[in-house]
Each structure stands twice: as C-alpha cells, then as structure tokens.
Structure 1
Amino acid sequence: MLHILFLIAITAEAMTAALAAGRRSMDWVGVCLLGCVTALGGGSARDVLLGHYPLTWVEHPYYLAITAGAALATIFLPKIMRHLHQLFLLLDAVGLVVFTVIGCNVAMQLGLPTGVVIVSGMITGCVGGVLRDVLCNEIPLLFRRELYASVSVITGCLYIAGLYLGYPHLLVTIGAMLVGLALRLLALRFEWNMPKFVYAEEKTADPGDR
C-alpha cells in the first residue's frame, strides 16, 4: 500500500514542480530536474544525513524515469492541470503523510532515537518542497504559511506512539496517515497558519528633526 501511494505521490509532486518551473520559464532540462528534485529530494536529504545508502533513486532508478516523465508530460498538459488544482492539493497532502511514515521507517530500521525518527519523517516529507522553492528563488512555502511541517511532525509522533503502544502496524500506519491527511486538508480549507514573527527596525530619530 505504501509503495503504491509513494509512486502516486512522487508523480504528483513532479507534476506540480513542473508547473513551478513553467512559471519561471525554465527549459525542459530545468523542468525535469525540478520535478526530480522536488519528488525525491526529501528522501535523498534524509539518506545523506542518516548515512543510509544507496539513495532511494540510486537503488530504484525507475523513480527518476517516473518523475522526469511526469514532469515532461506536464509541459503538454498545462490547460488540463489548471482544472486539477484541488486534486493536486489532495495528492500533495497524501504525499506529505506517506513520505513522513516512510522516513520514520528508514530511521527506525537504523535503530536511531525517537527524536531522530520523527525528524527523519519531517525531512522526507518537507525538504523536497523547500528545495523546489529555493531553486525557483522563492522563500520556501514551509516558512511562509500553512500547517505543513507541523502536520508531518504530528503524523510521525502518532505513528511512533502507536507502534510503541503495541498496536498492529497496519492500523497504526493507516491511522497516523488519516489524522495527518485530515489535519492538512483542514488547514487548507480554513487557512490555518502558524504564528508569524514580524520584526521591523524602529526608525531612529534624527537629531536634526528636533
């Protein structure tokens, strides 16, 4: 189940990244690169940080073919993509919770502490989008608005807690992902945001103004 959802999620992530590339007037190579980085970047960053080799797309090269192909296909489907905005928001939310659980599993297989397991899930779920925004010269969505990383953390915590309490693995997996998905969709529907820190330098009075 996770593997099928993973394939759907990386396809959707690659296609939405292709649209971001199009808004920046990137060439076809840029479209493919951005699609692959967005879809697979979170898992790659996790594996590098945890020393988990080979990287996912190195072990399974067809992931690159899927993401690059999906990104290229988007070039010929821009009008259709406009009508599928809500669907891709749903698939992005699915990808977030699926990537989170997969990231947690990788860290647990390495026998890492609980805190690292949760962070591993968050990196897997969120870093691809951060890399996309950085390459598009934008402040990452993760740092600007909406509940995103926090949804990943909550999903990871529920997943780890359920396993720790001894509940069946399948039940814990489905339950954690459903809660995370519902929270993400509610955040989109009601525009729930994290508190923002706004700092502005106070203008120093000019002695000549006295």
Structure 2
Amino acid sequence: MLAINLLAFLQFIGVAAFAVSGALVAGEREMDWFGVVVLGVIVAVGGGTIRDMMLGATPVFWIVSSWYVVVASVFALATIPLMKWGIDVRRPMLIADAIGLAVFAILGTRKALDMGISGPVAVIMGVVTGVFGGLIRDVLANRTPIILKREVYALAALVGAALFVVLREFDLPASVNLWTSMVTVLAIRLAALAMRWSIPTFRIEPSEPE
C-alpha cells in the first residue's frame, strides 16, 4: 500500500499547483480577490468533483475532507502579491498547471482502480480528474479551453494514466508506479511547452459550389 503521508503530500502539491494556476488566470482577467479564490478552488477540485459524481462516490471528496478547499483558497490568495508586483504570470501558470495535471491525472486513475473500475475507464477518469478543472476555469475566464486547442495537454494525461494502469499489473512498489506515471505526464507536458509540440488538426475543405 502507498504510504498515507506520501499520498497526502501529493494531493497537497496538486491542490496548491492548480490553485495557483487558477489564481494567475484570474489575475490575467483582472478579477477581484473573490474571483481569484473562485478560480483557484474550481481548478483544484473541479476535475475530481466530476470524477466522483461519475463514479457515484458521494459525497464528493472535498465535502468529506474540507482541507482541499482551505488549501486551494490560501494558495490562490497568496498568489495575489505576485500579480500586484507585475510579474509575468504566463510561464508560472503553465508550469503550475502542468504539475497539477500530472498529480491529479494519476491520483484520479488510482482512485478509480481502487474502486474496482476497469483499466480503460480508470484512464478516462484520470484524464477527467486532470483536465476538467482547467476546462471550467477557462470557460469562466472566457478563454478557449486548453483541451480544445492543439496543445499536448489531455494527451499527456492520457499517456500517464494508461502507463499507471499498465504498471499496476507488475509487481512494483506502489510509489514507483505513482512517481513514474506522474513524471511521465509532467515531462510530456513541459516538453510540449518547450518544444511547441502540437496535435495535428482535422479540417475538411469546403466543397466547391456546383
């Protein structure tokens, strides 16, 4: 079994990273402090909330453990001074978002598997956990959601979640499986940002009028 303190640490890191990314987007949109908290909390718990509702795991996790909302609110508010100092928030937001994506995509997959869900569905739940908080954030901030762009984002979560499911079939320490899968997601996402990787688009040319 994965040590409880390690799991709690990873959850804390994921919540903090996603909360910061949400707060930075709120800063880009010049929202007030309440908007900063709302976006920070939504990114941190949104994907997991949708996952739990789809799996029938109610009440959802942050209602049972309110520290998720508290930690997300604190880190979102702590981000406000960075914005007031005029710091460029784009790169820090992308890095924080990548960390949160890596942590929650894998933890979401793990939770689904622990509930007896099949591997393919667990992978989908991992992707939902990782990306849907950011999707809600972008919709509220009137931005085109990342997963609807050409960026390698949901694909990174998909690869990491699938790797986690595969590695669970081998007799590996749980922590090795967890870290390997999370680092894979993070590496793919950061490499995509650095190398400007994108997913090919699908376009149908309009037919010529007869």
Same fold (TM over 0.5): yes
For the 8 Å contact 1:99–1:124, the answer to whether it is kept is yes
Query: 1:138-175 deviations in whole A, cap 9, x for unaligned?
Result: 22111103211111111111111111123222221122
Percent identity for Structure 1 against Structure 2: 36
Q: Which residue of 2 aligns with 1:55?
A: 60
Q: CA deviation at 1:197?
A: 2.1
With normalisation by structure 2, the TM-score equals: 0.87
Match of 2:31 among 26, 29, 37: 26
Query: 1:49-86 deviations in whole A, cap 9, x for unaligned?
Result: 11112212111112111111222222233155725754
Match of 2:197 among 187, 192, 197: 192
Q: Which residue of 2 aligns with 1:12?
A: 17
- 1:111 paired with 2:147, answer no
> How large is the Cα RMSD of the aligned pairs?
2.1
For the 8 Å contact 1:93–1:184, the answer to whether it is kept is yes
For the 8 Å contact 2:40–2:73, the answer to whether it is kept is yes
Q: Structure 2: which amino acid aligns with 1:195?
A: P
Match of 2:127 among 122, 126, 129: 122
CA distance in 2, matches of 1:124, 1:172: 18
Provide the secondary structure at the position in 1 that maps to 2:79: helix
CA distance in 1, matches of 2:99, 2:122: 20
Q: Structure 2: which amino acid aligns with 1:68?
A: S
Q: Which residue of 2 aligns with 1:208?
A: none
CA distance in 2, matches of 1:54, 1:9: 21
Runs of 5+ unmatched residues, structure 1:
206-210
Q: Which residue of 2 aligns with 1:99?
A: 104
Q: Which residue of 2 aligns with 1:134?
A: 139
Would the alpha carbon gap of residues 200 and 132 (structure 1) be closer, same or farther in structure 2, given more than 3 Å must change? Answer: farther
Q: Which residue of 2 aligns with 1:147?
A: 152
Would the alpha carbon gap of residues 79 and 145 (structure 1) be closer, same or farther in structure 2, given more than 3 Å must change? Answer: farther
Q: Rg larger in 1 or in 2?
A: 1
With normalisation by structure 1, the TM-score equals: 0.87
